């Protein structure tokens, strides 16, 4: 049975889904923080956690958010044409969407999406390609969002005298939302290739971490998952960029290119190329196309845009800081959205660190999935060091978990080696050393 089917079969518990759209008539200071919010209530989440096996998931209802490059007041979702007549007092409080709007849903794994992180709760935002995007060959969707998880606690209201049976039902028990998890601002470029793509958090924690002292067999746990989506054109001050290349990139609409998802036949091909990268004083070179690199990567869009003077001539750019094979593999990914086979650990490590710097989230995950199968006594410290210094949240967790698990299982062999001394001397923070010591003492939490 498909995991979704299994999740949905059990997921017959009552769920409340509601979308709240923030008003658009806000002061300029507040408007920069306006978010389009969708909330998903799961009743009896403890039963989902207890009865659903790992890798099975549940879906929220689909929901819309406005396309950032359009006026939100012009956008209207299917089925909402009568909204104002049903709730006239709320009319000014809601934005509207038409068929240009983005379409999403939440995917939640009560016992984890990754074999490497069993029993960890995973939450992802899934992008659903719309007819509008398919008809216009729009294959990229940039989004910034936060994930929040609340526990809904019932508290008896003893101070108010209900006047009717309905009042008893509505007022006798009131729910207080208690925040148990909030992510940092997440930014991701979804690649839409006639299939849905997702991005999110593979581990927001285990059930016992989020709900301490709760026995899932005895106590009901109701949760509310909230996604807050921020438009690219109103969040300039909300993201801390990794490099100077990203100071103003959120003010521009995403590029649209009418082309297939793969450009493999143009990779390192002299046809139409307009930029060449050279290595080792010209010993090696790669021919490329600015339009493809700029479409796939904001890093290359900024970098190549700054390198051009507007004369339209082909440019030769020497690369000194990135090894040839790693750079070539990154370009191959940008052309094909695939990671080449047969790459050894050292090359993968170089690819990961540079893809992380370039904010190529999907590539870092592909590389991390390869690295976890290559961990040895000789390189486990490099894997952990890579994770400690990573900006990619999902890949960081994958690498850290595997490295901690390997080190804890081989501690007696590793404890007196230079590799452990290297980690202790080069840890980015004391928190990293404490995590390492916890893993050594208690193992990796499951």
Who contacts 443 (Cβ-Cβ below 8 Å, separation ≥6)?
405, 408, 409
The CATH number, out of the four listed (1.10.10.410, 3.40.50.620, 3.30.710.10, 3.90.228.20), of the domain defined by the range 262-338: 3.30.710.10
DSSP, collapsed to helix, strand or coil, labels residue 412 as helix
> When comparing pLDDT for 337 and 342, which is higher?
342
Residue 210 has pLDDT above 90, yes or no: yes
Got the DSSP string for 288-329? Answer: E-HHHHHHH-HHHHHHHHHH--SS---EEEE--SS-HHHHHH
308 falls in which pLDDT band (50, 70, 90)? low
Which pLDDT value is given to residue 151? 94
| Domains of the chain, residue spans | 3-251, 262-338, 342-446
167-201 confidence digits (pLDDT tens): 444 444 567 899 999 998 888 888 887 567 888 89
Mean pLDDT on 333-348 = 92
Mean pLDDT on 301-320 = 74
C-alpha–C-alpha distance, residues 93 and 4, integer Å: 35
- For domain 3-251, the CATH architecture is Sandwich (2.60)
Tell me the pLDDT of the chain averaged across its residues: 75
């Amino acid at each position: 049975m498909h995991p979704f089917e299994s999740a949905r079969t059990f997921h017959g518990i009552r769920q409340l889904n509601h979308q709240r759209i923030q008003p658009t008539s806000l002061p300029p200071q507040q408007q920069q923080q306006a978010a389009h919010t969708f909330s998903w209530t799961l009743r009896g989440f403890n039963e989902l956690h207890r009865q659903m096996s790992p890798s099975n998931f549940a879906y929220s209802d689909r929901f819309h958010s406005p396309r950032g490059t359009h006026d939100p007041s012009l956008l209207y979702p299917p089925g909402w044409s009568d909204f104002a007549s049903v709730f006239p007092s709320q009319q000014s409080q809601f934005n509207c969407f038409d068929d240009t709007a983005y379409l999403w849903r939440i995917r939640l794994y009560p016992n984890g999406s990754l074999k490497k992180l069993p029993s960890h709760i995973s939450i992802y935002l899934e992008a659903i390609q719309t007819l509008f995007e398919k008809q216009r060959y729009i294959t990229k969707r940039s989004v910034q969002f936060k994930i929040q998880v609340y526990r809904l606690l019932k508290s008896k209201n003893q101070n108010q005298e209900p006047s009717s049976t309905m009042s008893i039902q509505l007022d006798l028990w009131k729910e207080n939302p208690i925040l148990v998890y909030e992510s940092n601002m997440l930014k991701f470029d979804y690649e839409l290739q006639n299939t849905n793509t997702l991005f999110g958090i593979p581990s927001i924690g285990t059930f016992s971490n989020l709900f301490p002292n709760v026995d899932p067999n005895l106590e009901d746990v109701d949760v509310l998952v909230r996604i807050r989506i921020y438009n690219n054109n109103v969040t300039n001050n909300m993201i801390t960029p990794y490099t100077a290349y990203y100071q103003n990139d959120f003010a521009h609409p995403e590029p649209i290119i009418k082309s297939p998802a793969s450009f493999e036949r143009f990779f390192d091909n002299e046809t139409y190329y307009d930029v060449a990268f050279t290595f080792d004083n010209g010993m090696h070179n790669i021919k490329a196309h600015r339009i493809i690199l700029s479409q796939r990567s904001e890093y290359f869009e900024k970098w190549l845009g700054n390198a051009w003077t507007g004369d339209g001539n082909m440019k030769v750019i020497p690369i000194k800081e990135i090894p040839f094979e790693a750079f070539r593999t990154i370009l191959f990914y940008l052309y094909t959205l695939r990671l080449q086979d047969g790459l050894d650990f050292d090359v993968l490590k170089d690819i990961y660190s540079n893809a992380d710097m370039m904010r190529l989230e999907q590539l870092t995950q592909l590389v991390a999935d390869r690295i976890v199968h290559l961990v040895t006594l000789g390189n486990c410290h490099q894997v952990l060091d890579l994770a400690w210094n990573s900006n990619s949240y999902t890949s960081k967790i994958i690498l850290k978990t595997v490295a901690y698990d390997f080190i804890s299982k081989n501690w007696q062999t590793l404890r007196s080696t230079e590799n452990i001394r290297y980690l202790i001397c080069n840890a980015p923070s004391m928190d990293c050393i404490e995590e390492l010591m916890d893993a050594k003492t208690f193992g990796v939490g499951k």
